[in-house]
Structure 1
Amino acid sequence: MSDDRSPSTPPAAEALTRCDALVLGAGQAGGPLARALTDAGRRVVLVEATHVGGTCVNEGCTPTKTMIASARVAHLARRAGEYGVHAGKVHVDFPAVQARKDEVVAQFRSGNEQGLTEAGVEVVMGRARFTGPHAVQVALPDGTHRAFEAPLVFINTGARPTWPDLPGLQDVDALDSTGLLGLKERPEKLLILGGGPVALEFAQAFARFGSDVTVLERGERLLEREDEDVAAALTEALTADGVTVLCGHQALEARRAEGGLSLRVRGPKGEKTLHGTHLLVAVGRTPNTDDLGLDAAGVEVDDHGHICVNDDLLTGVDGVYALGDVRGGPAYTHAAYDDYRIVRDALLHGTHRSWRDRLVPYTVFTDPELARIGLDEQGAHEQERPARVYTLPMSKVARATETGETRGLIRAVVEASTDRLLGATVLGAGGGELLSVLQVALHGGLTAADLREGIFSHPTWSEALNNLFMQDPVEVPGAQERNDPR
C-alpha cells in the first residue's frame, strides 16, 4: 500500500517529544548554545545530520589548518639551507599527512561530543524538517522518524560548497573542499576553480606537497576586497611557491580526458584548454536551508537562501532563531560563536547586542597569512573618510629579518580627527596573531600615538607597531575636503 502522506506530515505512529528548546545543527553556535541552555535548566534536544562540531571541526578550520601545518613544514625543510641547516631531499608522505589530519579531527569531534554528553544535552542524529513553526520531524539513519516540539527553535544548519552550472562538471569527478580533504593520494595536477580564501589555502598547501597547481579566478585579480598591493603581494608569494594564477579566466566546459580531465577556459587572450588529474571547485558556499521545510514554519529567506533575522538573530517567527552561516554575513567560526553569545545573553541574561554593529576580523591562512579587521585603504577612499594610512613593509621588521619571513606588510587606517584606529591589515608570518594586537587596540580606543610610544618586548612581531606609526602616512581626504574649491 502506497504512503500518500505529504513530507511535512509526521507518520501516524510517531511519538511526539516535547522539550524546552530544539537546536538544529551542532556547529560552533548550536553546540555551545545547547550546553548553555541545558546548564540553565532547560530540556534541550540537538539534532545533527552528519557529525558533531559542524563544518569547522570536520571539513573546515581543523582539517585544513592541520594540513597547512604539514605543508609549511615541507616548505621550511626545503628552505633549510637558507638557515645553514642541511636536511637533504624532502619527501612528503601524503597518506601520513592525511592520517595526522584525521587524528586531529577525531580528537576535536570527540571533545565536542563529550561536552554535549556531559552537559546532559540529548543529541539526535538525523535530518530535521519543519512541520510547523515550532514542530520538527527528524528522519533517523535507520529509516524511522521522530517528532519534536519546542517553544524555542535554533537553526544552525550551516552551509555547503556551491557547485556552479558548468557543462560537464558532474562527469569529471570534480571535488569540493570536503572531497579534496578525503583524498588518499596526492593529486599530480590540481586545477582550482575560484580565487577566494579556501581556494588559495588549498592551492599553496598542495603546491608545497608537490602538486602542480593552477588557480582560475574570474575577476581581474585575486582577493578584490583587499587593497590592491596586498593582493598583489600575496599573489606573488603563491607564485613563488609554484602556484600558477590565471585571473580574468572563466571556465566554459569540463570533460574527461586521458589521465584525468580537461577544462576549456576563456581568458584575456581567448580560449584555451587546461589539463589536470583533479579539479577542485571552490567558488563559494550555499546555505543549508533548501531542505528544512522553512515554508511550513513560516521562516523567510533572502534571494540567496539565507534566513532573514533581526538584530537579536530572531526570524519573523516568534521563538525561532538562526545562527551562523545559515543566516548569511561573514562565514567565520568566530562569527558563529559570537552569534551564540548574542542569543545566550538575550535569553539567559536579559542583555541585548546586535550582530550588525560588531567588527569581525578574519585571517586567510596562506603563508604569509592575510588578516584584517575594519577599514583598509581602499575602503577609506570609497567612504571618503578623513583618515591617515600607515604602511610598514615586513622587510623593515626586525623579527621578520631574523626569522627569514620578510614577505608582506602591516597597514593601519587611523581616523584623522581622533588618531584612533579604524582598521588594520597584516600580511605576514603569523599575521592573524599580530592583527589581534591591533584589534584589541581598536576595541580599547587606543590611538596611533599610544602604539607608537608603547613598550613591546624586543624583538617581537608586535614591536613592529612602534615603527609602523613612525612612517609617513598617506592622507585620505574626506568628502568635504575633496570638494573644497580652495
Structure 2
Amino acid sequence: MDRIEESGSAVSSRAIEGKPSTPEEYDIVVLGSGEGSKYLAWTEAKQGKRVAVIEGRYIGGSCPNIACLPSKNIIHSAKVASYFQRSEEFGISKENVRIDMSVVRDRKRRMVDGLVQMHLDNFKASGAELVIGWGRFIAPRTIEVALGDGGTRVLRGSKVVIGTGTHATVEPIPGLREAGPLTHIEALELDYLPKHLLVLGGGYVGLELAQAMRRFGSRVTIIDRNERLVHREDEDVIAGLHSLFESEEIELVLGAKVQRVEGKSGVSVKLHVLRDGVETILEGTDLLVATGRTPNTANIGLELAGVALTERGYIQVSERLETTAQDTWAIGDCAGSPQFTHIGFDDFRIVRDDFAGGHRVTTGRQVPSCMFTDPELARVGLSEKEASAQGIEYRLAKIPAAAALRTRTLSETRGFWKALIDTKSDRILGFTAFGVEAGEIMATVQIAMIAGLPYTGLRDAILTHPTLSEGLVALFSSVPAIKQ
C-alpha cells in the first residue's frame, strides 16, 4: 500500500477475483471496526444477534491505532521533553538531554499493542465475529470479502452498517504525491527527528504534531492557505494560538497556496508557494500533509447496494443515520458526522436505539471539541462568532487562566476561559477554554449545560481548593448582571 493511501477500515479498491461463494446469513453485518461500529457489534452480539464485523487493517478503527490515542501518546512525550527544556525553572539541571525518537515511537507502539489486544478480547467476549479482510458490496446488504489470509467469503446481513471512516487528503498539487509526504500515520512512526519539518495544513492534526515535533527539537514551518490559524474561531483564540506558536519559534507561512512540490520527503523537499502574488520557495527535509480528510467510500460497490453519496463523497444519511438503501445504516466519519471519536460513539447509540424501535437523532446534539496543543483549546456550545452570526445576544464572562490558582502551582498560567450566558436567562450558551487541561474543565461546564443548570449553579458551588475546576467559581462570578 502506498504510504499516503491510508485505510483505517475494511475497504480496498483492489478487485476480488473468482466466483463469489454462497452468502452466509447474519443478523447484522458491519463494514469497518471503528468507534461506533465496534460498540454496535459488541452490544448487539451480547443480546444474542449473529453479528460479523469486517476489518481490513486497523482492529478497533483508526483511533486506537493511528489517530487519537497514539497521537496523544506522542504529544505527551513532547510535553515531557518541554519540561526538560524549561527544567531550570523547576530547579532541575538539564545537562545532556537527548531525544531518542525510536524510544518515543516504541512507547506508543506498546500502548497500541495493548489496545488492539483489548479489542480482540472484547470481540471474543461479546460473541461478535471479526472477519479480517477487505470488503465491497456486490448487492444490497451483501458484502464480498477478500480475506487477509487468502480466499473469499460473502456475508449478507438482515441489517448492514457501514463504518469505513476517512483517510488523509493528499491534494492534487503537482509533485506532492511523488514527494512521498508523511501523513499523521507515518509521522507517528518516525524513529528519527526531522531536521526541518514542513507542515502543510493548520488544522488540528497539523498544529498538534507541529508543536510536538518542535518540542522534540525539529525546526518546524506551518503552511496554510488561510490568513490566520483556526480562522473560524474567535479572535482571542486565534491570537492566543499565534502567540503560542511564535513563542515556541514555530514558523508560520499563512495566506499561502502551494503551487508545486519538488524533492522527496525524508531527504529534501521544496515547496513553491504563492503568497500575496509573489512566489517563494520553502525548503525542508520532511513534509507532513494535514489538509483534511477524504471519506473511504470509493470503489466499495455502494452503487450496487443502493447507497447514495453526497457531493463531497460522504454517505447520504437521515437524522437517524439511515442510508438510501433499505435496512442499511452508515456511522461515523464516512457518514459526514463531525470527525471526532466521541461523535462516532454517539452515532452508535443512535443506531442502537433505532434498532430497538427508539427515535434518537443526530440533530441538535452537542459537539464538544478539544485540540491537544499545549495548552489545550476546548470548546462546547456557541462561540462569540457563532452567536453573533445567529443574532443571539449574550453576556460574556472571561478570566485569565491564572485566575485558577492551581495553574500557578503548575507554572502553566497561559491562556483564558470564557463563557457565554443568555441575556434574558441564566442559561450557559457556550464555553471556551485555552489553557492547561482545558478539555477536562470543559466537561464540567458541558454537564451543567446538558442538565439545564443556570450558571449560578457553578458560581455558587463549593469546589475543592486548589484544583483547576475551582476556577469556574471565579469565571461565573464575573458574569455581568442582566440589564433592566
TM-score range, shorter chain: over 0.9
- Note the C-alpha offset of 1:95: 0.5
- Note the C-alpha offset of 1:15: 3.4
- Note the C-alpha offset of 1:364: 0.4
Is this contact kept in 1: 2:20–2:153, CA < 8 A? no
Is this contact kept in 1: 2:395–2:479, CA < 8 A? no
Is this contact kept in 1: 2:60–2:119, CA < 8 A? yes
Partner of 1:286: 294
In structure 2, the CA distance between the partners of 1:472 and 1:319, relative to structure 1 (3 Å rule), is: closer
User: What's the RMSD between the two structures over aligned residues?
Assistant: 2.0
Is this contact kept in 1: 2:134–2:147, CA < 8 A? yes
Amino acid paired to 2:287: L
Amino acid paired to 1:441: A
- Aligned equivalent of 2:306, options 253, 277, 298: 298
Partner of 2:250: 243
Unmatched 5+ stretches in structure 2: 1-13
Amino acid paired to 2:241: L
Q: Deviations over 1:380-416 (max 9, x none)?
A: 1111102111111113321112211111110111111
Partner of 2:97: 90
Partner of 1:330: 338
Give distance in 1, aligned partners of 2:75 and 2:214. 11
Does the residue aligned with 1:76 lie in a helix, a strand or coil?
helix
- Aligned equivalent of 2:170, options 160, 163, 168: 163
Is this contact kept in 2: 1:201–1:366, CA < 8 A? yes
Is this contact kept in 2: 1:8–1:293, CA < 8 A? no
Q: Deviations over 1:332-366 (max 9, x none)?
A: 00000111111112213x32211121101011000
Partner of 1:481: none
Give distance in 2, aligned partners of 1:177 and 1:431. 23
**Corresponding position: 1:309 with 2:317:** yes
Give distance in 1, aligned partners of 2:463 and 2:72. 29
- Note the C-alpha offset of 1:18: 1.0
The residue correspondences of 1:198-347 to structure 2 (distance < 5 A) are 198-256=205-263, 259-268=267-276, 270-347=278-355
Give distance in 2, aligned partners of 1:357 and 1:28. 21
In structure 2, the CA distance between the partners of 1:404 and 1:474, relative to structure 1 (3 Å rule), is: farther
Does the residue aligned with 1:222 lie in a helix, a strand or coil?
coil
The residue correspondences of 1:436-455 to structure 2 (distance < 5 A) are 436-455=443-462
Partner of 2:418: 411
Is this contact kept in 2: 1:390–1:474, CA < 8 A? no
Aligned length: 470
Is this contact kept in 2: 1:8–1:131, CA < 8 A? no
Is this contact kept in 1: 2:337–2:344, CA < 8 A? no
- Note the C-alpha offset of 1:90: 2.3
- Note the C-alpha offset of 1:329: 2.6
Does the residue aligned with 1:151 lie in a helix, a strand or coil?
strand
Does the residue aligned with 1:111 lie in a helix, a strand or coil?
helix
In structure 2, the CA distance between the partners of 1:32 and 1:260, relative to structure 1 (3 Å rule), is: same
Partner of 1:59: 66
Partner of 1:4: none
Give distance in 1, aligned partners of 2:213 and 2:432. 26
In structure 2, the CA distance between the partners of 1:55 and 1:9, relative to structure 1 (3 Å rule), is: closer
Amino acid paired to 1:238: F
Give distance in 2, aligned partners of 1:53 and 1:235. 35
Is this contact kept in 2: 1:155–1:323, CA < 8 A? yes
TM-score (ref. length: structure 2): 0.93
- Note the C-alpha offset of 1:268: 2.9
- Aligned equivalent of 2:136, options 125, 129, 138: 129
TM-score (ref. length: structure 1): 0.93
Does the residue aligned with 2:288 lie in a helix, a strand or coil?
strand
Amino acid paired to 1:183: L
Q: Deviations over 1:33-53 (max 9, x none)?
A: 111111111111110011211
